[in-house]
Amino acid sequence: MEIRFVVATRKSEDEFWSASQTGQSLKFLKIGKANVRLFPENTQGLPIIYNQAIKETIGKPVLLIFAHDDISILDFFWIRRILDGLERFKIIGVAGSTSRISFQPSWIFSALTIDQNNQVTFTREAPENLSGVVAHGSGYPPARLDIYGKAFQKVALLDGLLMAAKNQTFFENSLFFDERFMFDHYDLDLCRQAELLGLDIGTCLLSIIHSSTGNFKSDTFIASYKKYIDKWKD
């Protein structure tokens, strides 16, 4: 089975391979350009990019790995980790929540409130509901190691920094990313679609450094959250 990384970046192709964490990481792991579907200088929403990449694999078995451009994969046995996860789950990631409740804004937060002064406050998800491990920082050693909870377990929601699935999972279930979303909530939305289809999702054991900690209080995130709630009604 072919393995194909799908990565969208605002950088040029040369800048991606020379300066981005993901590009440098893929080069280090000897993952050639032929196994990377790169969308350089991208301004489109990730669902549009990801759906295009899925449809390009029609007619052959492909393991698709959707990755942000600011991660470093440190695991020499990365492919074994991903395959182990996909033996148990249909869609996998590296961090998520085993619980999903109404109006949840993110896998790592259980609630969002906006006061009369338009100040945004988040309630963090209970630790016992979290799964996975992700380091954060711009290089090695990372600035910190976030141990959310036991990995390799079934979850309800995944973080989209890295998600993997076999292309047949998408085709056999008519499952695609919802293109109404741009860069936020597409991951939660895909998880909810998978839930309705009866597809198990889970976390895998994979060592990753992520340079971003999220833009949760940004106007774009709040607008995306409202769009997400408008779709699902809870």
Q: Which domains does the chain have, with CATH numbers?
A: 2-232 (3.90.550.10)
Percentage of the chain with pLDDT > 90? 91
Q: pLDDT category, 208, cuts 50, 70, 90?
A: very high
pTM listed for this prediction: 0.96
Q: Tens digits of per-residue pLDDT, 108-117? A: 999 999 888 8
User: Each residue of 125-151: b (16+ CB within 10 Å) or e?
Assistant: beeebbbbbbbebeeeebeeeeebbeb
- Angstrom CA distances, 219 to 8, 113, 114, 136, stand at 22, 14, 12, 23
DSSP state letter for 108: T
Q: How confident is the model at residue 213 (pLDDT cuts 50, 70, 90)?
A: confident
The one-character DSSP state at 186 is: H
Residue 38 has pLDDT above 90, yes or no: yes
* Average per-residue pLDDT for the chain: 96
**pLDDT > 80? residue 231:** yes
Average pLDDT over residues 132-155: 95
Q: What are phi and psi of 229, to 5 degrees?
A: -65, -35
